[in-house]
């Protein structure tokens, strides 16, 4: 295992604070060839922690996904309406990520989760520029009757809920019609763990 790289923060300046925050750091870090780097500056997008929840129905081998408008996707040349797993921001650091995921499933997809979601993966979405860490949960759901429009009006959410079979969802990922990073991670994680999940959940 690689040793932790020593980092010396020389200064930090918040250059923008709004819904998100942008900080300017001056730092030095250890070099592979030995010694320390000269001072350098880096701008870091302080995104905080986010959660996503993979809503999987093992009986029907189906997933509950959402579609919603994303301005950054539009600006980057991707479709403005993105197919995604349910996700949200942990705005209160005292709140457990699992509780946030359950609430987001109710608000975005109209699903009340009765079982306990489990943490499937934790990862960074853009470690070169953002502090965002993503908690990916997985929950067993019953997808019968799920669908419609959801979201909170005060947050300008306009979310369409859709149910897709596992193979249909994977086809969207493999053909490039899903471009959302956490959703791709969730689908590829499910592809690797689907057989195990179905064995465990369908025996109950």
**pLDDT by residue (tens digit) across 142-158?**
999 898 888 787 877 78
Q: What average pLDDT does this structure show over 80-103?
A: 94
Instruction: Answer whether residue 171 shows pLDDT above 90.
Output: yes
- Say if residue 167 is exposed, middle or buried (CB neighbours under 10 Å; 0-12, 13-18, 19+): exposed
Tell me: do 72 and 133 sit in the same domain.
yes
Catalytic residues, by residue number, are: 155
Tell me: do 20 and 101 sit in the same domain.
no
Return all residues near 152 (Cβ < 8 A) that are at least 6 apart. Answer: 107
For 99, other C-beta atoms within 10 Å of its C-beta total 13
pLDDT at 151: 79
Lowest mean pLDDT among 76-85, 104-113, 134-143: 104-113
Residues 57, 141 contacting (CB under 8 angstroms): yes
- Boundaries of domain holding 40: 7-46
Tell me: do 66 and 152 sit in the same domain.
yes
Return all residues near 143 (Cβ < 8 A) that are at least 6 apart. Answer: 55, 57, 60, 62, 63, 64, 163
Tell me: do 35 and 109 sit in the same domain.
no
pLDDT at 204: 66
pLDDT at 115: 82
d(CA 72, CA 74): 5
Residue 67 included in any domain: yes
Return all residues near 185 (Cβ < 8 A) that are at least 6 apart. Answer: 121, 123, 134, 136
Tell me: do 75 and 152 sit in the same domain.
yes
Residue 1 included in any domain: no
Residue 121 included in any domain: yes
pLDDT bucket at 114, cuts 50 / 70 / 90: confident
The model's pTM is 0.90
Residue 176 included in any domain: yes
pLDDT at 41: 98
Tell me: do 127 and 197 sit in the same domain.
yes
What CATH number did the domain enclosing 96 receive?
3.90.79.10
Tell me: do 94 and 165 sit in the same domain.
yes
Tell me: do 81 and 41 sit in the same domain.
no
- Mean pLDDT, all residues of the chain: 93
């Amino acid at each position: 295992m690689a040793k932790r790289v020593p980092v010396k923060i020389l200064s930090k300046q918040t250059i923008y604070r709004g819904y998100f925050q942008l900080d300017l750091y001056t730092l030095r870090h250890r070099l592979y060839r030995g010694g320390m780097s000269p001072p350098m500056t880096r701008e870091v997008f302080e995104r905080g922690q986010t959660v996503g929840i993979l809503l999987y129905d093992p009986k029907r081998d189906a997933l509950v996904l959402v579609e919603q408008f994303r301005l950054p996707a539009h600006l980057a040349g991707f479709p403005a309406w993105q197919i995604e797993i349910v996700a949200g921001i942990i705005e209160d650091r005292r709140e457990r990520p699992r509780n946030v995921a359950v609430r987001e499933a109710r608000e975005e997809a109209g699903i009340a989760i009765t079982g306990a979601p489990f943490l499937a993966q934790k990862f960074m979405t853009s470690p070169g520029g953002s502090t965002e860490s993503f908690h990916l949960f997985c929950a067993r759901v019953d997808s019968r009757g799920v669908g419609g429009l959801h979201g909170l009006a005060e947050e300008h959410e306009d979310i369409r809920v859709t149910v897709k079979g596992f193979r249909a969802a994977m086809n969207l990922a493999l053909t490039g019609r899903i471009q959302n990073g956490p959703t791709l991670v969730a689908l590829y994680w499910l592809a690797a763990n689907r057989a195990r999940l179905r064995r465990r959940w369908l025996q109950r």
